[in-house]
Structure 1
C-alpha cells in the first residue's frame, strides 16, 4: 500500500481523502519527509526557547547596560523576563490560534505559524531595546503551542490508526534533539558571536522548515463544519481539564529540578561549571530515547503509559535528590529524569486527543500550555525551598510531590471516565 506514487495533494481543488484512505495515497518517502519537516520545526522551537536560558547574561549586558554595570545579578533577573514572556506567548497563543483557525487546512496553518516564527525571531535579532525585544519574544512564543498541536495531528494522520502516538513522538523528537545539539550550539554561537546571531540562526531554521513543509506535507482540506464554538467546547470537558492539570503538575516535577541543575552540579556534586553542558546533553539523550519509546508504548496503552511515565519520573527525581552528591548518581539520575519526562510527552498529547473528541486541535495545542505552566510552577516551588535554606537537593523532593500529584490526577481522570462511560 505504501509503495503507491503520491498524488498531487497540494491543490485545494483536489478531492483529498481522509483517514486510512488518505494514508494510502501518500508514499512512504513523502510521509517520512513530511514527518522530518515537522520535527525540524520542533527542533527550531527547542533552540529558540531554551538557548535563551544560556544567554541571559549576554542579553542583560547588551540590552540593560546601566543596570548590569550597577548590579549584574539584578540585571540578569530582569533579563529573565524574556523567558517568562515567551512562555506567556505560548499559553495565550495555543488555544486562541487553533480555535480561530478551526476551518483552515492544517498545512496552511502550519505555514502561517512558521511564518510568525520567522518574523518573531528575526525581530528578536534586530530590535535595539529591551522592551522591543521583549515584545518580539512574546510574538515568537505565540505559535509554539499551536504548531505542536497541529503538527501532532498531521503526524498522527500520516502514521494512520494504531500509530498515532508514534507520529506525535516523531514531531516531539525535534524538541528533544534540540536539547542535545541545538541548544548547546545556539548557546555557543550566542556567546561567541553575540546573542543576536543565535536568533538569526533560529530564523534560518524556521525559514528552511517552512520550505520543507510547503514541499513535503500533503494538503488536507480544513473541516468546513468546524467552528470556534466547537473548538472551545474542549474547555467544557472535565477530562480535558484533568489531563491538562495532570500534565502541568507532572511536568512541573521535572522543571523543579531541571531549573536548578547548574547549582546542583557545582555546589552539591562538586563538579566544575564546565561539566554542566555534559549533564544537559545526558538529560537530552534520555529525553530523546524516552520520547521515541514512549510513542511506541503509548500506542499499546495510553493510560498505562501515563502511569508508568509519571511514576518513573517521580522515582528518578527522588534518586537525583538522594544520589546527586556522587557524579555517577547525578548522571544516572538525570538520564532517567529525561527518559521518563520524554515518555510522558506523547502519552499526555495522545490522552488529550482522546478526551477532546471533536475539539482536537485546541486540546492538542493546550498540551504545550500545560508544559509551560508546569515550567513556571516547578521553577517557582523549587526556588521557594532553596530560598528557605533547604539546599539545592530540596527541589528534587518538590519534584517527587508534583509527580505523585500527577499520578493522582491521572487516576481521578480514569475514574471519572469510567463513571461517565457507565
Structure 2
C-alpha cells in the first residue's frame, strides 16, 4: 500500500512538473518565438501573461465543476488537453493558433494541480498530509525553475520545435503512467457546488486568501526583478546571474522538503515565524545587495524560504476549508497567481519611482501586512472556538 501511494505521489509530482513546465518553460524561449513567428517580444510575452491570467480566473471554477468526477478520468482529460496543445504548438506556423493552443490548456491547469494536492494529501494519514503535498510542490518548483533553462538550451542547440517537443514528451509520459499505474478514484462523497462555495461565507477563508496574495507578492514582487537587480545593483555578469538563478531554483526544491517536515511538526508556529524570518533576510538583502558573496548566501537562504512559502500558503487555505479540498486548492492557485501579478506590478512601481535596489521594499511591506492577516486569522479562529464551547 505504501509503495503504491509513493508511486501515485511521484506520478502526480511529475505531472505537475509537466504542466508547470508547459506554462513557464516558454519564458526561456520568448526571443526565439518572437523571431520565429515575426512578432515583437512584448507580443510573444502574451504566451506567459495570458496563460497566468486564465489560470487565475479559472482557479476556483474549474476544479469545482470537475469535483464530482472520477479523479483518474479527470487527470487523463487534463493531460490529454495539454498533449494536444503541445502537438499543435510544435507544428503551427501561426502565432494566433499558438496562443490559442496555450490558452485552452490554461483553463484545465488548475484542475490537475488542485487534484494533485488533494489526492496526495488523501493518500496518506492526515498528520502526514503536509509531507505528501510538499513532494508535489517539488514538481511545481522544478517546472518553474528547471523547465526554463532546459527549453532555452534545447531551442538554441536544436530548434524551437524541439523545445516544444520536450514539453509534449513530459506530458505524454505522465499520461501513460497515469493510465497504467493510477487506480480508478471515484469520488466517495460528492459535495454540492453550494456546499463548496459556502466556505466563502467564512471570514477565515477570506483572511487566508489575502494572506496568500500578500506572501506570494512578497516573494514574486522581488523575484520578478531579481535578474535585473543582480545586473544593476550587484554588477554581475550574465553567466553569474544564470548561476544565481540556478542556485535559487535548487534551494527552492530543498525548501519544499523542509516545509513538509515543519508543517507536520508545528504548522501554526511555522506560519507565524515565516514572515518574520523572510523579513529579516530581506533587510540583510537590502543592505548587502551590492556585494557578490553575501548575495550568493542570501539567494540560497531566500530560495529555501520561497520553497517553504509555497507549501505554507497552500496549507493556510486548505486549513481554512478542509472539507472542500478541490475548491480550496483552486482558491489557492488563484490567490497565488494574483499575488504574483500584484507583487510584480508594485515592484515595477518601486523600481520606476525609486530605483531597482528598492524593489526589496515590496517584499518587506507585503510581509508586514501578511503577518497582520495571519495573526488576525488566528485570533478569529480562537474567538470562534471559544464561542462554540
Same fold per superposition (TM over 0.5): yes
Q: 1:353 deviation in Å? A: 2.0
CA contact (8 A) 1:286 1:338 kept: yes
SS at match of 1:115: helix
CA distance in 2, matches of 1:120, 1:33: 26
- Report the Cα distance in structure 1 between the residues aligned to 2:264 and 2:86, rounded to whole angstroms: 35
Residue 329 of structure 1 aligns with which residue?
A: 294
State the distance in 2 between where 1:51 and 1:332 align. 26
CA contact (8 A) 1:121 1:140 kept: no
Deviations 1:215-239 (A, max 9, x none): 3333332145322222222322222
2:357 is matched with: 393
Counterpart for residue 47 of structure 2: 82
Q: 1:85 to 1:162 in 2, by over 3 A?
A: same
d(CA) in 1 for partners of 2:23 and 2:277?
26
Shift of 1:250: 0.7
Task: Report the counterpart of residue 108 of structure 1 in structure 2.
Answer: 73
Q: Distance in 2 between matches of 1:288 and 1:232?
A: 33
Give distance in 1, aligned partners of 2:125 and 2:58. 28
User: Is 1:359 equivalent to 2:324 in the alignment?
Assistant: yes
On the 8 A contact 2:18/2:170 being kept in 1, the answer is yes
The corresponding residue for 2:310 is 345
| Structure 2: runs of 5+ lacking an equivalent | none
Aligned partner of residue 382 in structure 2, secondary structure: helix
Q: Give CA deviations for 1:333-367 in whole Å, capped at 9, x if unaligned.
A: 12122211211222222222221143221111221
Determine the structure 2 residue equivalent to 1:54: 28
Question: Normalising to structure 1: TM-score of the pair?
Answer: 0.86
Which deviates the most, 116-125 or 196-205? 116-125
| Other structure's SS at 2:356 match | coil
> Cα offset for 1:179?
4.5
Structure 1 portions without partners, runs of 5+: 1-26, 66-74
Check the 8 A contact 2:61/2:330 in 1, yes or no.
Answer: no
Residue number in structure 2 paired with 1:188: 153
Given that 1:121 and 1:202 are in contact with CA atoms closer than 8 Å, whether structure 2 keeps it comes out as yes
Partner of 2:13: 39
CA distance change for structure 1 residues 280 and 179 in 2, over 3 Å: closer, same or farther? farther
CA distance in 1, matches of 2:146, 2:377: 36
Question: In structure 2, what is the equivalent of residue 177 of structure 1?
Answer: 142
Q: Is the 8 A contact 1:102 1:227 kept in 2?
A: no
Higher helix share: 2
Counterpart position of 1:71: none
Assess, with a 3 A threshold, how the Cα gap between structure 1 residues 140 and 323 changes in structure 2: closer, same or farther.
farther
CA shift in 2, pair 1:317/1:44, >3 Å: farther
* Distance (Å, rounded) in 2 between the aligned partners of 1:391 and 1:365: 36
Tell me how far apart the structure 2 counterparts of residues 296 and 316 of structure 1 sit (CA, whole Å): 21
TM-score, normalised with respect to structure 2: 0.93
TM alignment of 1:189-228, pairs within 5 A: 189-223=154-188, 225-228=190-193
Contact 2:59 2:330 in 1 (8 A): yes
Question: In the aligned structure 2, how far is the partner of 1:301 from the partner of 1:159?
Answer: 18
Residues 1:348 and 1:226: Cα distance change in structure 2 (over 3 Å): same
Q: Is contact 1:145-1:367 (8 Å) kept?
A: no
- With 164-173 and 402-411 compared, the bigger mean Cα shift is at 402-411
